[in-house]
Structure 1
């Protein structure tokens, strides 16, 4: 035994794998020896020596295993040390590839970029040499002459943009100041009507003391200039009646001033067109026929302005607030050339009983003259659903002459002319107002 150990000591050191293989083979041999002793029935004293050898082999196995693990750890450490430079180099390569792709992408984007203002180019060389300051032209930015010139042009462009930014800031400041000034003025203008109203109210006593014209009256006079001739005749007659005889009435002109001005402008243009087409009668007739066909639906088209007549009780002149009997509205039908009258009070019905009974045989249910009947058609029916009607006395007030449909010589009635003349004479402003007051009072105070 000692001799074997001495041999092992004298032998060169074995590697862990060789020691592991030898220990494994020795253990296998010992186990085979122990099995053969058991089969042959030899004394068991030999097993003790074999067990000792087996334990020594186990110790060698553990030693070899420990050496293998130690060597494995050493190899791992060396591998990690060798892997770190390689990982660093790989990371640098990855970064370089990423930067390369980024630069390639940026270059492609710059080449394919389309400006919002494609027609605006960099300042020309002539303009740069003429307008650029000496501080920019005297710089040396590159050894290449063309590249140096391009850099200088870009610097001059940047200089101009900075100057424009300063100018914009200055203009923004001016704009802010102007907005604040406009806000203050708008605030003053918004409060101006209230001040004017109070000033007007305070000046009323002086206005009445000096007998100055009423502003409302001036307004109505200005509107009256846009009235059609029939309504203007009615307005002038009622105003003359009020001023001459101090009639207890109020006359107003209501409606859209803008629409009236537009209509007056259209009428003036139409008259000019008619004068230009006097030489071409056939063309003018076709044009008028076309207009008439288009205006069939507008037979009852009303002029934008109306006359509103307030009739007060003449027995209460001394009362500062006299009783208002009725309010009449005069309107002019453009297509039919008639004046229609209606009341504002709904209790009188849509036609107004007061107006229907002013004069005999004048209920306002049929057109007053032959041209209106021809325009309306064969049935000669006037729209009874309208709140105003074409009374004959309204046509007389408007100065619209109504000729009889048949001559008195053909009808055999000599008195027709005189009867018609007397009826027209009775339909004047004073008679109409008297009968309106009489009818209205009789209705308000029935016997």
Structure 2
């Protein structure tokens, strides 16, 4: 096909004017539809839309039917219906455009209305802000206080009564509150001027008095060296008359730095020593400078700060202390003692003494005591007497139940929880024992039912306990020293009996003590014949326990002794078991029970002269006597030939009595015979 034969498409030249005209025509049509939109009813358009859709559905169904029949004349009808459908489609397009235009107009109207609402809301906010600002200004004006309101003026009645009429002006100020306030202020100013004049006069008088005081101080200061010389010259006289005023003065000067409980203890003990007990020595020990430093406020100086800064720059990185180290430091701080302590020396007639050092734990607010026993002569060694003078137990249960192992202050439990201290008993060897009587001597009382945040030292409480406590301390020392000597003899098989107690026993006692030793609480509990005592709760871990053996021939009397710390006001408790022809105890032998009764119940017959320190040895001697009576009154087997193992040597009115067949264990002096009770 040649190029000439090809049909060329005509070129359409579209000028700018042509484009503009077409655009204007389109705009014209658009705007004509908007104009038409104002004239149309949306409900009618909606009805037209429904009818058009139904018509379209009908035409489509007819076309479908015509096509399904497949007749030759159907194509013309199909074409006709297609043309009708296209017309309906044009109608739907127009309705769609009209709907979009309506939607756009509705949105525009909504947007304009929203803008108006926002503008009105902004105006409202501005007005509210202005109202709030005006209210604040009004409040400030209403709350305004003038300086004159801070001045405490005299009352109106007093003002008119005392102020002169030139200032009060009653004819003017009575009706005008403002003029009245001004007049009252003028009267206040006048009064203050007068007071200022009096103040100047008082200052001048004060200066004059201060000068007089300075003159008198200089005079008194000049007397101090003279008084010191007089005191030094009187020292030989004080020593000769046993009146150490100078030493006492120094002690009282140091006492000013004692904490309140130690101060109360020192004052009351000193007063009791001077008034009632010359053998009680009271003194203050410790570092006075450290005690003074506790009351000095910390001084902050620039030099110290600069030095500390320099040290921080020079030091290298240090490890942060671990939790364990921090707890140890907190425990040490919690258990810190006051630098000063009060020392009491309780002396006895034989020259022995009990040295007590009282300490105050500042953070725990309790007193503790450390004990040291000093004897007049060297004591003989006795193994069983090892715990008698032990500083940790010598004063246990000075008052019943007071073992000094627990803190008496209930608040300390919560303090211990913070620093990880389980029990104070782990630190008693270092701190001392916090006995309750120690707290009472310092005037401290810790009520358990109503805990108090702060405990105050009471002089009255200390004074009420001082005499009895000193007496108990001296008695405890004497009883322990006496027991120490007795135990030394008992370990050698000798029962020491004083001449005053010889009449309590017959002249001849055959049974002998062969063994005496100390046992532990656990050993005591394991013995079968002590079961009744343990079950009765009479055996406590604060008691001392001893075992002994008394023998005569083949008979062996084994026994135990519970020694209460309060001996001899509380008697020892004996338990017996006889090994002879079997094992006999109070459970299976009535006479063994009676022997225990003779020792434990009728102990007052064996106390001897006051204060009764011979009770234990007298009980042991009576036990030897009772064993003789038990063995000598026992029925002899006549089938056995030969002499009796235990020939009767004691005089008995009756060998047995009653259905229990009890033996005569009571010794009657001076007749020298035995009878039943």
Query: TM-score, length-normalised on structure 2?
Result: 0.27
Larger helix fraction of residues:
1
Query: TM-score, length-normalised on structure 1?
Result: 0.40
Larger relative contact order (C-alpha < 8 A, sep ≥ 6)? 1
Larger strand fraction of residues:
2
